[in-house]
């Protein structure tokens, strides 16, 4: 059950609701969005009287959860949302270019990559300090040291930071540095992590699981939303198929489908889906053309030395064309490149 | 083994080669392309002496088949090819819009769909007279009666015809009416059919099998090429995944990958991949943006009455936006909309 | 629409039905099974009056086709069927071992493989004379010469023959030699071929398409049944997944699922699913244990010289264990090894 | 890099190694197995001198990690391992039946399910107190209260407990009650969780990710092993395909393939793979026949009231047949049913 508060509802109104609900043995999660506050209920709600709740001060609506996701659904929220990351919008009116190194290795490399990203029009910096790696013998990231490098580079470039968190116990640390928390494809159904980032007070980028259906993806987003955080951006990054010429198969259809089902912004990662540098620009064009609200791209000053996913990083020679795509394509969709 | 003839080689030169080869117990297939003639050999070629063959009149090169496909490979044919269908080009310089009804039902319906197609910029007419249907109880097409309707509508509209052939025994009949033969996704590895269309003297559109790898797709094209027909257009139409929100998952990456491996043009079918009308235009934009050399789209004057795949057909209200896409997008890729 | 005749219906009864139906412009296919004759109707049946048809002599039932397959469904045929191949049963009471070389290469090799097969308990001989190959440069089989070798080996060993047909135009030729026609995985939706083998008067083994759903598989069987042939054996041979350690992924669940939906026997091909010799015996055990009515296995006297799929063929050293499996496992399922 | 100690190596020998390694800035994880102690190194090992290490007291071997997994590989450990759970073996000589309710709901339901399990021959009790659910609105398990119920039922029945842990922060709590920790399919690449269970001092059952390759599965096991825990049992539970008749597609081939690559025991979950009660017994037979070292099965006294996965639970009427399978099948593989 979900209680939607009126925009003019006060903090006291919300507290009164929560108190009533908890008395009935039901857990309540308060979600304070820009437009409205939502109280999500988990537990045995059969003892709650929807009619009485609807009569309480500040309550606009009480909805039984019939569809498998509610807070992220477009059904009750027909207008598509815009999520702001350090002031940068991701939403229906813009195409936001996010770029940076796959993994943070050194300050010098991260700064160089950030400058590359900016020269192509990027307004948010991506970079991993915690890397989920299939093999325990692969480079796992610099951890908090990497976060500090990212914060320094933000200082120098003015670019807000998007970075991954892989462990529920690290959420507070990562949130202390990052402007946006990324949940990776392998963690899309790590429900403990989803709940923790839902409570962290930062926008979240939720990558689609590499074989998740769109419905499962939206239910994973609902886990985050239920903890009070509606600032969620969905990121399609390719699904697993039998094809071996590409690492994964980018599912561009997922963008219009998810945008129709959910009010959340949807972006595309053309770097990880193909896993090949020569596919990044064609897939970026396709991403914007299909209606994505942004793209997130790997760039690296020296990809041959990268500790992670070098073969898919764009290099200096690619940036002019990327900038041109950002100039040409968004306008055809009635969108503008996002700016700081 | 493949023997590539010089452009100035005569028919007698080719015959001499074939005669030598057959004497050695090896089968020879002559492929007379616009640019050059190729003789493909099948059988035990160990008794043939490549050096002697190379010395024969008119021979430019003798290649051992090391990669799994040769004639369609870009390795020996670095320039991308243009295929002409009734005078309409499909190739690297253009984006060709092919449209029409999924199935030919009546003359009136086919003509109406063709007029719709033309109004959106289509220069080739698609329409099925023979329909491969999963269920034996579904409408299987009008057969030759449908071909006659297509021919009549070509007469009235000036649009060359693309139509499917599903049985090797029907190839001659279909080729008598059609400007381009289509091999459908279920028949991509129907090798008897591939060989027959390879010998039919008509350009062929080869749809990717619904779970074929790109390599298997190119090897299927090689079957056609080996029978002397290099006028092949590859068509990506979505692959089978676990996702249920769309009928299949359009694999846009297949376009740049196939264009890199093969000199053949590659187009996209945004109608059958998604199976939903609301996805056709977004996927058309993605198709052109990723670099497809054309798109093939279902249109229907009254989709609610269609005998086949009505839910995915574009209607009148969509055509203005489709025409706009054809105006806006090709230029960004350095291409022009194909014209008659 | 499907008309089921009474067991005591005469040929004249059937002809009368067909005549009425054709007069209404609907095609009728007569299926004379052991237990009953069925008339399948294709076309616009709206003008037919089911009640009148039901009143005609010899008619037991007239069924509208509501489920996508009818003749092969277990709904109207609750007892599971037994198909006889040259006197050898494949059905619910037995486990039938079919074995032989993947491809017929020489008389000597085929005979040796047949003797190997017999020594392990095989009662039907498999062997391909027409091979559908992904590459046009791979060995395509000996054709009719291979069929003659098979017929000779049948003479010498007494084993009825199962062999593949890949082209609708070859059906009559293959049927002249073979005891059972095999339709391969790539041809499961080659509807022209299905219809032709449906009319050939021989039992058919229908392999599941490598990414077909079970429902599509049963609909493909329905195409065969509709042409009057209910002697169909379904063969599961692995489906395509992202796993690369095996060629395909054997779907053992398909056996009980298909047996529940259809009355047709279901067997398993453990050789082609795994594509590895070391998996053949474990998968054979799993096949019998899950309830398969038979297994079809590659054996080769010298697999390192095989022209096709050598790495998966069993060799002499494996035959004792195979024979032991055939002795031990069927009894646990209440079945007996099939004998001639 | 991995350092394998001699069986007679002392604790001081190990400490000396660790000290040397850490001085070089490399992390060392000590794995004390029954047969030998292993020191896994993570980080930049280029500064370490393998020859010097090999010369240190107690060292048997120093291996560079060339294959992607080492500790779980069969290459360096040719004999297949047996893992003991509360005294019950899971390994090459036995087939271990694990059964119980999908989710712990009440003491009464759990005890009833345990008695059902025992009557069919089960020697370990499964039951979930923490349930990873796709929807945040679904029953998430009783948490520690559920663990206490399991412990009580263990007391009453003598069955050691297998239960899932879904959050790295809960590992200590769950390990305090459980005899074996289960890592579920959605968490197979939750590396923080893998590392935590690796350090928990309990045997671990690692379910295969629903679209993980076998190699990725073994690398996930390597994460656990690297933290000093080689008591790992692999559990195949079906992979995601396009088939809709079953929830997932059980990959029986994964058992012999994983047993060949790794020394770890491999079991099968026939309940969650098919998701249908009518498939559980056929798949159990297939599991034992293919060589699985155990099966884990859902049973429920009243599945129609189950809070989780009721439709797949076996009921009383099925238990006799399950017991019969456990009596008949293991012996054919040279195995015995595991006993307490």
| Chain B neighbors of A254, CB-CB under 8 A | 243
Higher pLDDT, A303 or B176: B176
CATH 3.20.20.70 segments of chain C: 83-337
- The model's confidence at residue A148, banded by pLDDT at 50, 70 and 90, is very high
The contacts of residue C203 (CB under 8 Å, 6+ apart) are C83, C84, C85, C179, C180, C181, C229, C231, C232, C233
Contact D168 A169 (CB under 8 A): yes
The ipTM assigned to this model is: 0.85
The contacts of residue B329 (CB under 8 Å, 6+ apart) are A289, A332, B95, B285, B288, B289
- DSSP track, D281-328: HHHHHHHHHHT-SEEEEEB-SSGGG-SS-GGG-B-HHHHHHHHHHHHH
- pLDDT tens profile C25-39: 787 777 766 556 778
pLDDT average, residue stretch B217-239 = 95
Chain B residues with CB-CB distance to C under 8 A?
40, 42, 65, 68-69, 132-137, 140, 166-169, 186-187, 189-193, 210-211, 216, 219, 222-223, 226, 240
Q: Taking the model in full, what pTM does it have?
A: 0.85
Query: Which of A273, A284, A286, A325 to probe by mutation at the B interface, max B CB count within 10 Å?
Result: A286
CATH of D83-337, one of 3.20.20.70, 2.60.120.40, 2.40.30.10, 3.30.230.70: 3.20.20.70
**Chains contacting chain D through 3 or more C-beta pairs under 8 A:** A, B, C
Higher pLDDT, B23 or B274: B274
Per mean pLDDT, which range of B273-287, C72-86, D30-44 is the poorest? Answer: D30-44
Higher pLDDT, D45 or D119: D119
Closest-CA distance, C243 to chain A, in angstroms, reads: 8
pLDDT average, residue stretch D50-57 = 80
Q: Is the pLDDT of residue C303 over 90?
A: no
pLDDT average, residue stretch D78-82 = 96
From CA B283, how far away is CA B291, in angstroms rounded? 12
Q: Report the chain D residue with the minimal C-alpha distance to residue C242.
A: D213
**pLDDT in the model for residue A7:** 78
The contacts of residue D15 (CB under 8 Å, 6+ apart) are none
**pLDDT in the model for residue A319:** 96
**pLDDT in the model for residue D65:** 57
Q: Is the pLDDT of residue A37 over 90?
A: no
Contact D189 A134 (CB under 8 A): yes
Closest-CA distance, A218 to chain D, in angstroms, reads: 9
Q: Kindly state the DSSP code that residue C6 receives in the 8-state scheme.
A: P
From CA C139, how far away is CA C158, in angstroms rounded? 28
Query: What per-residue string of b and e applies to C88-112 under the rule 16 or more CB within 10 Å gives b?
Result: bbbbbebbbbbbbbbbbbebebbbb
Q: Which of D295, D303, D291 lies closest to D272, judged by CA?
A: D295
**pLDDT in the model for residue C315:** 94
Query: Which of C40, C69, C137, C211 to probe by mutation at the B interface, max B CB count within 10 Å?
Result: C137
**pLDDT in the model for residue A138:** 77
Chain D residues with CB-CB distance to A under 8 A?
40, 42, 65, 68-69, 132-137, 140, 166-169, 186-187, 189-193, 210-211, 216, 219, 222-223, 226, 240
Q: Report the chain A residue with the minimal C-alpha distance to residue B284.
A: A290
- The model's confidence at residue B286, banded by pLDDT at 50, 70 and 90, is very high
Q: Is the pLDDT of residue B66 over 60?
A: no
- For residues C78 and C263, the answer to whether their CB atoms sit within 8 Å is yes
Higher pLDDT, D52 or B233: B233
Q: Is the pLDDT of residue A51 over 80?
A: no
Q: Which of A142, A109, A107, A112 lies closest to A128, judged by CA?
A: A142
Comparing CB atoms, the residue among D69, D137, D189 nearest residue A132 is: D189
CATH 3.30.70.1140 segments of chain C: 2-63
B2-63 belongs to which homologous superfamily? Phospho-2-dehydro-3-deoxyheptonate aldolase; domain 1 (3.30.70.1140)
Average pLDDT over all residues of chain B:
91
From CA D218, how far away is CA C94, in angstroms rounded? 39
- The model's confidence at residue C95, banded by pLDDT at 50, 70 and 90, is very high
Chain C residues with CB-CB distance to A under 8 A?
240-242, 244
- pLDDT tens profile B104-155: 999 999 999 999 999 999 999 999 999 888 888 777 899 999 999 999 999 9
Q: Is the pLDDT of residue A190 over 90?
A: yes
Contact B249 A256 (CB under 8 A): no
Contact B136 C216 (CB under 8 A): no
Higher pLDDT, B34 or A291: A291
Q: Which of A212, A83, A228 lies closest to A220, judged by CA?
A: A212
pLDDT average, residue stretch D269-297 = 96
Q: Which of C242, C318, C240 lies closest to C279, judged by CA?
A: C318
Per mean pLDDT, which range of A85-94, A253-262, B320-329, C47-56 is the poorest? Answer: C47-56
- The model's confidence at residue D24, banded by pLDDT at 50, 70 and 90, is confident
**pLDDT in the model for residue D208:** 97
**pLDDT in the model for residue A65:** 57
Comparing CB atoms, the residue among C137, C210, C211 nearest residue B65 is: C137
- For residues B332 and A329, the answer to whether their CB atoms sit within 8 Å is yes
**pLDDT in the model for residue C126:** 98
Give D143-150 contacts, CB < 8 A, sequence gap 24+: D144/D173, D146/D103, D146/D104, D147/D173, D147/D174, D147/D176, D147/D177, D147/D178, D148/D177, D149/D104, D149/D106, D149/D107, D149/D110, D150/D104, D150/D110, D150/D125, D150/D177, D150/D178
Q: Is the pLDDT of residue C66 over 60?
A: no
Rounded (10°) angle between helices A277-290 and A316-332:
10
3-state secondary structure of A146: helix
Contact B42 C140 (CB under 8 A): yes
Per mean pLDDT, which range of A232-236, C3-7, C239-243, D269-273 is the poorest? Answer: C3-7
Rounded (10°) angle between helices D316-332 and C316-332:
150
- Range with the largest mean pLDDT of A315-324, D32-41, D57-66: A315-324
- pLDDT tens profile C127-143: 999 988 888 877 789 99
3-state helix, strand, coil in chain D (%, to 5): 40, 20, 40
CA dihedral A59, A62, A67, A68 (to 10 degrees): 70
Q: Report the chain B residue with the minimal C-alpha distance to residue A211.
A: B242
- pLDDT tens profile C246-289: 999 999 999 999 999 999 999 999 999 999 999 999 999 999 99
- The model's confidence at residue B3, banded by pLDDT at 50, 70 and 90, is confident
**pLDDT in the model for residue A292:** 98
Contact B240 D240 (CB under 8 A): no
Q: Is the pLDDT of residue A35 over 70?
A: no
pLDDT average, residue stretch B190-200 = 94
Q: For chain B, what percent of residues have pLDDT higher than 90?
A: 69
| Chain A neighbors of C241, CB-CB under 8 A | 242
H helices present in B190-290, as ranges: 191-198, 214-226, 254-261, 270-274, 277-290
pLDDT average, residue stretch C222-236 = 94
């Amino acid at each position: 059950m979900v209680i939607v508060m009126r925009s003019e509802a006060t903090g006291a109104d919300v507290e009164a609701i929560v108190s009533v609900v908890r008395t009935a043995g039901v857990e309540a999660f308060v979600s304070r969005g820009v437009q409205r506050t939502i109280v999500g209920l988990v537990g045995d709600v059969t003892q709650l009287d929807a009619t009485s709740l609807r009569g309480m001060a500040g309550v606009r609506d009480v909805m039984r959860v019939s569809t498998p996701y509610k807070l992220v659904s477009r059904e009750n929220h027909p207008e598509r949302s815009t999520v702001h990351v350090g002031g940068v919008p991701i939403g229906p009116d813009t195409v936001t270019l996010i770029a940076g190194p796959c993994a943070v290795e050194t300050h010098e490399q991260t700064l160089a990559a950030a400058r590359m990203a900016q020269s192509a029009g990027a307004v948010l910096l991506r970079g991993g300090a915690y890397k989920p790696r299939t093999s325990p013998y692969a480079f796992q990231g610099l951890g908090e040291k990497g976060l500090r490098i990212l914060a320094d580079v933000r200082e120098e470039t003015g670019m807000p930071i998007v970075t991954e968190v892989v462990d529920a116990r690290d959420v507070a640390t990562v949130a202390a540095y990052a402007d946006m928390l990324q949940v990776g494809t392998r963690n899309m159904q790590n429900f403990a992590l989803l709940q923790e980032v839902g409570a962290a007070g930062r926008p979240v980028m939720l990558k689609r699981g590499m074989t998740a259906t769109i419905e499962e993806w939206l239910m994973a987003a609902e886990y985050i939303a239920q903890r009070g955080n509606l600032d969620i951006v969905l990121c399609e990054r390719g699904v697993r198929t039998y094809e071996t010429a590409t690492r994964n198969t980018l599912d561009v259809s997922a963008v219009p489908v998810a945008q129709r089902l959910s009010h959340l912004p949807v972006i595309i990662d053309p770097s990880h889906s193909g896993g090949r540098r020569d596919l990044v620009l064609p897939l970026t064009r396709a991403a914007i053309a299909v209606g994505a609200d942004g793209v997130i791209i790997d760039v690296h000053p020296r990809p041959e030395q990268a500790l992670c996913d070098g073969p898919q990083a764009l290099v200096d020679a690619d940036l002019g064309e990327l900038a041109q795509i950002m100039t040409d394509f968004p306008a055809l969709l009635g969108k503008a490149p996002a700016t700081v």
